[in-house]
Structure 1
Amino acid sequence: MSEPVDVPYVDVLIVGAGLSGIGAASHLRRECPDKTFTLLESRGAVGGTWDLFRYPGVRSDSDMFTLGYSFRPWTDAKAIADGESIRSYVVDTARENGIDAHIRFHHRVVRAEWSSATARWTVTAVRTDPDCGETETVVLTCSFLQVCSGYYRYDQGYSPEFAGAEDFAGRIVHPQHWPADLDHADQRVVVIGSGATAVTLVPSMARTAAHVTMLQRSPSYVAALPGKDALADRLRRRLPAGTAYRVIRWKNVLFSMATYQLSRRRPGLMKSILRKGAAAALPDGYDVDTHFAPAYNPWDQRLCVVPDGDLFAAIRDGRADVVTDRIERFTATGIRLESGAELPADIIVTATGLNLLAIGGMALSVDGSEVTLSETLAYKGMMLSGVPNFSLTVGYTNASWTLKADLVAQYVCRLLRHMDAGGYQSVTPVAPVLDSPEQLAPLIDLESGYVQRSVGLLPRQGPSAPWRLHQNYLRDLRLMRRGPVTDAVRFGRATGPAEAAAPALAKEGTRA
C-alpha cells in the first residue's frame, strides 16, 4: 500500500489500523461520506494484533461471526479462526472499502492538544523511516480524534524476572515477539502461563515438538467449542450470505450472553459444567481439580476456548502435559520448581501476558491543561469526561471485541451527524458530581494479572449509565444505537474569532 498524499487537516483522525481502526473508517465512509479522514498506524501493516502476533497456532478465542464486522459477513468455514485468516479479513476489508489509501504507516502518535478557540486537535506524531530508522515529527490537525489503538503495548509484552534466566542454555521467547527462525521440532518446550495464549501454543507446538509442558501457577477455566459452526454451514447453503451471517451472529451473541449471565448468577453451576466438560475430554483419573478447576468464579477472568478440544487431545495423546507449581529458578537445562521437581527444556516460552497501554501511550491536553486518564470517567465506555471531540475503543471482556467496536464507530457517526445538523463544533462529556469515590469502578472489570497490574492508570466508570456499562451487548445496543446523543454532554462552538476557527489550510484529504 502506498503512502497517501500529505493531509494537514482532516475532519476525523483515526489512530490505529487494526480491527477497530479499519472498522471505524469503514463506518465513517458509509455513514458520514462528507467527512475527510486519515488513519495513523505506528507499524508498517494493516491488522493490529492480528499482524503483530505470529506465534504457532495464533487464533481468536471469539467466534468469527461476532468478531467479524457487522457490515461484512465472515464466509470462511472456520468459526474459531487462525490469525492469518483474521489478518486477511481485516486487510481485505480495508481494500474493499477504500480505506488503505487513507493510511499513513510508521506514524506513532505521541501527543494531542485540544484548543477550544479553534475547536481543533493538534496531533503530533513521530514518523520512522522503515529503511534507515530515521525519525521526523509530523503535525496534523483534526476536528475529531478517534483512538483505535487497543489497550496494550505493541512493542513490549509482559515477562516477569525469573531467577537464573541467564543460566538457561536454550532459548527464551515471548509470544508477542516470536522469532521467525525458531524451530521447535523435536524440542522439549515449557510454556509458562495458563491464559488464552498458552492454551493456544501448547497443542500447536505439540504437533512437532518432542514434548510440551504447560507450567501454570494456577489454573484457568478452559472450554472446548467446535472449530466449525454446523448451523452456519447449513444456513449458508440455504440463505443469502448476509442473511445467514446476521442470524448466526445473533445466535452466537445470545449464547455468549447466556453463558456469561449463568456464570454470574449461578457460578457454582457453571463451575460444575466446565469441570465436567474438562473431565470428559481428559484421560480417566486425570487430576482435573488441580489443573483445570480455578478457585475464582467463571468470568472473573476471561474464559479460555480451545477449538475442538485440541489442548485436551494433546494431553490425552501424551504429547503435552500440565504442571501446576511455582518457579524457584531457571537452570541451565530447564526450570526448577518450588516443589523440588525439575522440568527439562530446550525452549521456554513466557506466555505471561500483556502490558496495558491506554490510547497508545499518547499524552493529551485540553486548552493547555494535561489530562490524567485515571482522573477521567469513561462516558458510554468510549469518551472521556472533560475531553472534547475524542473517542477511544475498548471491546468487551466477556464477548467479542468487535461487537463493542462496531457500536462505538456507529455512535461516533451519529454524534458527528448531530453536530453538523446543529451547527456545533465540539462535544464534551460532563462528569456527574459523585458522593463518594466508592461509586467509581474500573474501566476493565477483570481480575486477570495483566489488568490488575495497570488498571489504576486507566479511566474509570461512574455509578450509573451513561457512565457505567455492564458488559451487556443488548443494553449497549439500545443505549448507543437508539439512545440520545445529547445526555450528559455539552455541545459548543469555537470560542476564538472566526478567522482562528477557520481551517488554516484547505482540506486536502480525500473525501470519506
Structure 2
Amino acid sequence: MSENEFDVLIVGAGLSGIGAAYHLQTRSPGRSYAILESRDAIGGTWDLFRYPGIRSDSDMYTFGYAFRPWTGGKAFADGPSIRQYVRDTASENGIDQHIHFGHRVVAVDWQSTSARWQVTAVDGAGKEQVFRARFVFLCSGYYRYEKGYLPEFAGYDDFKGEIAHPQLWDGALDYAGKRVVIIGSGATAVTLVPAMAETASHVTMLQRSPTYIASRPSIDGLAVSMSKMLPAKLAYLIARIKNIGVSILTYQLSRRWPDFVKKGVLKAVKAELGEGFDVEKHFTPSYNPWDQRFCLAPDGDVFKTLKSGKADIVTDHIERFTPTGIQLKSGEILEADIIVPATGLEMQLAGGARISRDGVVVEPADLYTYRGMMLGDVPNLALAFGYTNASWTLKVDLTCERVCRMLNHMEKTGTDIAVPQVPDDITPEPLLDFSSGYVQRAIAHLPKQGDRAPWKTYQNYVQDMLAIRFGKLEDGYMTFSKAPGPVGQLAAREAAE
C-alpha cells in the first residue's frame, strides 16, 4: 500500500472515532487504518464545547466505552473529564499515533473498478490531500461543528451587550455580577443555568415552551458499592446492565403509558420546587415524554438554583432584542448584560462531506439506513450514529462490533465489497421519530429508514445487540462480492494462499 492508502479510514477523533479504532485494533488486528480529524485535538464534541457546566446528560456507565470502565466517580461527568477519558483511551492504546490532525474530509468517492474509496481532505494550509481506503467509517457525529443554530431575532444587532452562543463559547467571557438571559429549554440551557448562576448577579432561563426535566443522583450508589467489593470491570458491567435496563424501562413506559409517566415527572418537579412555582406553565410540555429527549438535572441542580432565587424561568415568545435586553410578546422587558442563545444544533451528515459513487453524487435524503449503521446501496461505508433515547455510545459500540465482523468475513471469504441492497417494496419512514426542533429542521435532508428490519431502527439496545452481535451477516440484504478489476483477482489469490 502507498503512504496514503489504508484498509480502513475513520473520520473523526471524538468519542466514536477513538472507540472505532480500539475495536478495529482488537477485533480485526492487522488492518491498517488512519483517523482523519478536522480539528487539532482529540475529543470531538467534548473538546469543542467549553461552555460553563458542560457535562454528559447520559450516565457514564452507559455513555462510557464497553471496553474501558468509567472510574471518574460522578455518573454525569463534566466535559473536561470526558475529554480526558477519550484522550487517555487513545494514548493508552496507541490510537493517537494513527491520527492525522487538521484534515477536514470534504469528499468520499467510491470507485467500483478498484473497490476503493478515494477520500479528499483539506489540511490546515488549505491544501487537498487524497487518501484511499477499502472501507470508510464515518465517526464525525451528526451536527455542524462550525456553528450552531441561531434563529433570526428581530433587533439582534441592536443589543449593546454581549451575545455568546454555547457552541462557540469564549472562555474569556466574564459573567460575574452580570445579568444573564439564557434562551432555550433543552439540555444546554438546563446545564448553563446553575453553572452561570454561581457568579452572575441573576440568570433568567427564557423558554418558548417547557421541556421535561428529571432529577437524577450525580453518584450511582450501586456502582460505588460494587466497585468496593468487585473487580473494576465486573462492577462497571453490573452498573452498565442496570442502567441500560432502567433506560429501556423508562422509554417503554413513556411510550405505552405517557400520561402515567408525565404525572410522575411533574409530581417530582413539584416536590423539588415546593410551593409558589407555576409548574403547569413552566414545566409541563405540550408533547408526551420521550417525543423529545429528557433533560437530566444531576442532584436537581437546576431546581435548587431556581428555588434559591439566583435564577428564574420565563415562558414567553421573543418580540425583539432591544439595546438593553429582550422584549417579549407579552410586553415584558428582560434586562440583560449577556444573552446566551442556547437554541440548538444544525444537523449535518458525514461532517458535510460529499458522498459519491464513481463520480456521481449521492444525496443522503435518497438513501435508506441499514441497521442504523450503513447506507443502502453504498458499499464499504459505515456510520457511527447513536441512540436518541439512550446513551450514544451504546449503539456506536455495537456498530463497531458489526463492522469488524464484516471486515473479518470479507478477509475470510476473499471478498472486497460489502453492500446492503435496498428491496423494491420498502416503505419510507423518517429516520428519527423525534419532535425536537433540530431534528425537524433537518429531517428532509437526512437518510430515511424503512418499515421493517433491517432497514428500520428500533432504538432498543437489547434488540440491536442480538441482531448486530449475533445475527447473520448475509441476511438476504447484505451482499459480499469481489471487485470486478485486478483487486478482486488479487484478493482471491490471497484467500487461496
TM-score (norm 2): 0.97
**1:53 alignment partner in structure 2:** 49
Q: Which amino acid aligns with 2:417?
A: S
Q: Aligned with 1:113: secondary structure?
A: strand
Q: Aligned with 2:199: secondary structure?
A: coil
CA distance 1:460–1:366, shift in 2 (3 Å):
same
Q: Aligned with 2:122: secondary structure?
A: strand
The structural deviation recorded for 1:372 is: 1.1
8 Å CA contact 2:55, 2:79 repeated in 1: yes
Question: Does residue 372 of structure 1 match 2:368?
Answer: no
Alignment of 1:238-387 (within 5 A): 238-387=229-378
CA distance in 2, matches of 1:180, 1:267: 41
1:452-488 CA distances to partner (integer Å, 9 max, x unpaired)?
0011111110111100021100000000001011111
Picking from 480, 489, 498, the partner of 2:478 is 489
CA distance in 2, matches of 1:83, 1:253: 22
- 108-117 or 349-358: which moved more? 108-117
Question: Does residue 104 of structure 1 match 2:100?
Answer: yes
Q: Aligned with 2:123: secondary structure?
A: strand
**1:506 alignment partner in structure 2:** none
8 Å CA contact 1:119, 1:501 repeated in 2: no
**1:15 alignment partner in structure 2:** 11
Q: Aligned with 1:45: secondary structure?
A: coil
- 15-24 or 112-121: which moved more? 112-121
Picking from 111, 116, 132, the partner of 1:120 is 116
Unaligned runs of 5+ in 1: 1-5, 129-133, 503-512
The structural deviation recorded for 1:489 is: 1.4
8 Å CA contact 2:319, 2:328 repeated in 1: yes
Q: Which amino acid aligns with 2:441?
A: R
The structural deviation recorded for 1:445 is: 2.0
CA distance in 1, matches of 2:31, 2:295: 40
**2:196 alignment partner in structure 1:** 205
Alignment of 1:80-479 (within 5 A): 80-128=76-124, 134-434=125-425, 439-479=427-467
1:105-130 CA distances to partner (integer Å, 9 max, x unpaired)?
010011111112111111110001xx
Runs of 4+ in 1 over 6 A off after TM superposition: 499-502
CA distance in 2, matches of 1:50, 1:210: 28
1:71-112 CA distances to partner (integer Å, 9 max, x unpaired)?
000011100000000000000000111100000001001111
8 Å CA contact 1:118, 1:501 repeated in 2: no
Q: Which amino acid aligns with 2:48?
A: L
8 Å CA contact 1:163, 1:329 repeated in 2: yes
Q: Which amino acid aligns with 2:479?
A: R
The structural deviation recorded for 1:500 is: 9.4
CA distance in 2, matches of 1:365, 1:332: 48
Identity of aligned residues (%): 56
CA distance in 2, matches of 1:164, 1:47: 36
CA distance in 2, matches of 1:7, 1:167: 53
CA distance in 1, matches of 2:457, 2:75: 28
The structural deviation recorded for 1:433 is: 1.4
CA distance in 1, matches of 2:488, 2:472: 33
Q: Aligned with 1:185: secondary structure?
A: coil
Q: Aligned with 1:26: secondary structure?
A: helix
CA distance in 2, matches of 1:57, 1:284: 27
- 343-352 or 490-499: which moved more? 490-499
8 Å CA contact 2:324, 2:335 repeated in 1: yes
CA distance in 2, matches of 1:498, 1:410: 26
The structural deviation recorded for 1:501 is: 6.9
CA distance 1:333–1:40, shift in 2 (3 Å):
same
8 Å CA contact 2:156, 2:321 repeated in 1: yes
**1:69 alignment partner in structure 2:** 65
CA distance 1:364–1:500, shift in 2 (3 Å):
farther
Q: Aligned with 2:47: secondary structure?
A: helix
1:16-71 CA distances to partner (integer Å, 9 max, x unpaired)?
00000000000000011110000000001000000000000000000000000000
Q: Aligned with 1:404: secondary structure?
A: helix
8 Å CA contact 1:117, 1:501 repeated in 2: no
Q: Aligned with 1:252: secondary structure?
A: helix
Q: Aligned with 2:190: secondary structure?
A: helix
Q: Aligned with 2:330: secondary structure?
A: coil
Q: Aligned with 1:95: secondary structure?
A: helix
Picking from 30, 33, 36, the partner of 2:29 is 33
CA distance 1:239–1:498, shift in 2 (3 Å):
closer
CA distance in 2, matches of 1:74, 1:14: 24
Greater relative contact order, per chain length (Cα 8 Å cut-off, separation 6+): 1
Q: Which amino acid aligns with 1:280?
A: A
**1:131 alignment partner in structure 2:** none
Q: Which amino acid aligns with 1:293?
A: T
CA distance 1:449–1:499, shift in 2 (3 Å):
closer
The structural deviation recorded for 1:499 is: 9.4
CA distance in 1, matches of 2:31, 2:122: 25
Q: Aligned with 1:328: secondary structure?
A: strand
TM-score (norm 1): 0.94
8 Å CA contact 1:494, 1:501 repeated in 2: no
The structural deviation recorded for 1:7 is: 3.2
CA distance in 2, matches of 1:14, 1:155: 20
- RMSD of aligned Cα (Å): 1.3
Q: Which amino acid aligns with 1:79?
A: A
